Chain A
Amino acid sequence: MAKNEHLAQIITGCKDGDGESFSQIVDIYSGRLYGYFYRLTGNKEVSDDLLSELFVKLVEKIKSYHGGSFENWLFRIASNLFYDYLRVKQREKKLFEYQQQQQLELEKPPFRQDDSERIDKLQVQLVKLDVDTKELIMLRFYSQLSFKEISQMRSEPIGTTLSKMHRGLNKLRKLME
């Protein structure tokens, strides 16, 4: 509760145009949002750009936030940004080539067994999921929103969300074994 009150104060500060409040929002959410973008794109530079764009958008749009779950609102912007990025990439017909190239690179035999190799293993398998399922799994994991909120955000029935999540995670687990 105290955490929520603290967040509410920060958001009020943001709405008043206080730079320090925006800075605090970056400190609180940058890790989770970066993880979300990184897991979906598998590229550090793209994730850097998307994260920057997201926070600049936050400054422009904060007045349109009228209460409710801030995570929901923030990750909705993040999700829209990701799909915008995807559309641009598809238009340029580079995404497919990039993913193939990335997959080939990631499938090279690991140099040594360490943490980065473990991270890459998940990234390799994530590429094998369709974008929609991958986005759903990462949205749930990084936003920490409830399934009800996620289904509302995605404008689909909760049964569909749960079914996609169940199938997607099962597939991912099998791929990881």
Chain B
Amino acid sequence: MDEQNHENLREFLEKFLVPTEAEQAAEDIHNGEQMLSGYPAPQPDEMLLASIKRKMADALSYEGENNFSRMFYKIVSVAAVFIFLTVISLMVFTNGGTEKLSGDLVMTAVIWESEDIAADDANLATLIAQTEEIESEMLALELGENGGNVVGSLTELELELEEINSDFWKG
């Protein structure tokens, strides 16, 4: 037993016991530990140790592979995010790409570029009104309130959307 670990034993015990009791307790603990030294436990056999070392080597190579996989997936994820952001940036900041984007992104870009706030507000109000109209028409379609002519209504709706789109970009 490491003698260093006995150094403060009595000091510790004196925090809880009177000095004579602390001395006795320290001696009891020391004697108890001495007694244990007289009964050594069996040692692991060589075959067990060899088997453990083999298992550790296996675990080590598995850890190595795992680390590689983790690193690989991390790089792939970062690359995917980078490519996605690059594509979005190109679409937003290059001419001609805006038409393919969703309404929110395009509108944001157009409003940022515009300096005529009043006209923008009017355009937005028109767009919102038209969107609401389309929403109500979609709802009517879903509820079957169009007299059964689903194909005709869809075509009509499509034409209306195209018209709104071209009107909006004309300003």
Contact = CB atoms under 8 A, between A and B. Distances in A.
A172 B44 contact: no
A118 B39 contact: yes
Given A17-B60, A162-B16, A166-B29, A52 B55 contact: yes
A55 B8 CA distance: 32
Given A26-B53, A38-B41, A170-B28, A59 B59 contact: yes
Contacts of B31: 169, 173
Given A141-B36, A166-B28, A170-B32, A19 B57 contact: yes
Contact of B42 (A38, A118, A165, A166): A38
Interface string B30-73: 01110110111111100011011101110110011000000000
Interface of A: 17, 19, 22-23, 26-27, 30-31, 34-35, 38-39, 44, 47-48, 51-52, 55-56, 58-60, 118-119, 121-122, 137, 140-141, 144-148, 158-159, 162-163, 165-166, 168-170, 172-173, 176
Contacts of A144: 1-2, 5
A17 B104 CA distance: 51
B164 interface: no
Taking chain B's interface residues, is the majority helix, strand, or loop, or is none over half, making it mixed?
helix
Given A17-B64, A162-B13, A60 B32 contact: no
Contact of B33 (A27, A56, A140): A140
Contact of A22 (B4, B15, B39, B56): B56
Contact of B52 (A30, A38, A140, A173): A30
21 contacts: A17-B63, A17-B64, A22-B60, A26-B49, A26-B52, A26-B56, A30-B49, A48-B48, A52-B52, A52-B55, A56-B55, A60-B59, A118-B39, A122-B36, A144-B2, A146-B5, A146-B8, A148-B12, A159-B15, A169-B29, A172-B35
B92 interface: no
A172 B2 CA distance: 21
A66 B92 CA distance: 47
B25 interface: yes
